[in-house]
Structure 1
Amino acid sequence: MMNITECSAPVMLRRATAKDAQRLERFFRQFEEVSFCEWQDAKCLRGVLEQKTTTAFLALDVSGEVVGAVLGGMLGSRGTINHLAVSPFYRSQGVGQRLVEAASADMKRVGVLRMFLFVDDANLAGKRFWSAQGFCEPRGETTFERDL
C-alpha cells in the first residue's frame, strides 16, 4: 500500500484523509481551472474522503504546506480524477505526474481498468499535461451531466 512517496521536487506525497477536508477545499479553491463547485465544501469533502471508493493524495512541501493534490473516485472497472492541482512554483517538477501515478496505482490495485477525467476546453495547459500522462480525448462520445 502506497502511503508516502518521495517526489523529484522537495515534496512528500501522502494519502489524504477526512481530516484533510478543509485543507483540500482551501487548496483547490485557489485554482480557477480546477472547476471546484460551490457546494464542494469541507463537509462534503469529508464525506467523500471517508468513502472506500475515493482516492486522494496530497503533495506537501518540507514545511507541511499543501503544494499539490488529487481527488478521484472508482466505480467498478472505471475510475475518475475529479480534481488535480499543483501550486505554480512546483509545476514542471514532476509533482503532478506523481499525484497521477499515486491515484492510478490506487485504482489499479482495486481492479480499475480505465480512468477518465474532464478538462475545460479553454485549459490548454491542462490538455497538454493530461496528454503527456497518456490520456486522450474520446472519439464519438458526448458527456452529459446534471447537478442533483
Structure 2
Amino acid sequence: MEDSVPQILLRRAMVRDAERLEQFFRGFAEVSFCEWQDARFLRGVLLQETTTAYMAFDATGDVVGAVIGGMLGTRGTINHLAVSSRHRTQGLGQRLVEAASADMKRVGVLRMFLFVDDTNLAGKRFWAAQGFCEPRGEITFERDL
C-alpha cells in the first residue's frame, strides 16, 4: 500500500528498514521503546505475518512517521506510533493508524488496543480523536520475559 500526502510517501516497513525504525522511535521520549528493541529484534518482528508496520517519508527521504503493531486472533495492538514534530497536526498520524487498522481488519481483527503513558496528554487526545477510549475497570498486568 503506497499513498502520498503532499510530499509525504507512506509505505509498508520492510526488514531492511529495521535500523531506521529503531533510530526513529528512539528519538521520541513519549514512545516507550525498550532497550532490547534494537534493529536485530525489529528485523524478526517485521518478518512475522502478524506484524503491521508503516513508515512515512518526506521528499528528502527522511522518516517523518512510523507505526508498528501486531495481531493475534480478533485483537490487534499498536505497539508504537510516532510523527516528527514538524509533521504533527497534519493528519499523518491518523493515516498511519488507518493503514495499520486496514491490515488488521483484512485478517479479521475486531478490536485494537494500545498503551499510553498516563502523563502523555497529547497522546491521550490523539488516540481519543482516533476513536479509542480508555477502558473502565481494567488494570494492565505485564512482565518482561
Same structural fold, with TM-score higher than 0.5 when normalized by the shorter chain: yes
Shift of 1:6: 1.6
RMSD of the TM alignment (CA)?
0.6
Shift of 1:140: 1.1
In the comparison of the two structures, how many residue pairs are matched?
145
Give the Cα separation in 2 of the matches to 1:144 and 1:76.
20
Q: What is residue 140 of structure 1 aligned with on the other side?
A: 137
The residue type equivalent to 1:6 in the other structure is S
Q: Deviations over 1:65-117 (max 9, x none)?
A: 10000000000000000000000000000100000000000100011000000
Shift of 1:129: 0.2
Give the Cα separation in 1 of the matches to 2:7 and 2:134.
32
Shift of 1:64: 1.1
Q: What is residue 17 of structure 1 aligned with on the other side?
A: 14
The residue type equivalent to 2:132 in the other structure is F
Give the Cα separation in 1 of the matches to 2:61 and 2:72.
32
- State which of 94, 100, 105 in structure 1 corresponds to 2:102: 105
TM-score (norm 2): 0.99
Q: What is residue 4 of structure 2 aligned with on the other side?
A: 6
Q: Percent identity?
A: 75
The residue type equivalent to 1:59 in the other structure is A
Secondary structure of residue in 1 paired with 2:30: helix
Q: Which runs of 4+ in 1 moved over 2 A?
A: none
Secondary structure of residue in 2 paired with 1:147: coil
Q: Tell me, which stretches of 5 or more residues in structure 1 are unaligned?
A: none
Secondary structure of residue in 2 paired with 1:33: coil
TM-score (norm 1): 0.97
Matched, 1:65 2:88: no
Give the Cα separation in 2 of the matches to 1:129 and 1:141.
21
- State which of 27, 31, 47 in structure 1 corresponds to 2:44: 47
Give the Cα separation in 2 of the matches to 1:144 and 1:6.
39
Give the Cα separation in 1 of the matches to 2:34 and 2:15.
19
Matched, 1:128 2:125: yes
The residue type equivalent to 2:57 in the other structure is L
The residue type equivalent to 2:59 in the other structure is V
Give the Cα separation in 1 of the matches to 2:17 and 2:142.
28
Q: What is residue 28 of structure 2 aligned with on the other side?
A: 31
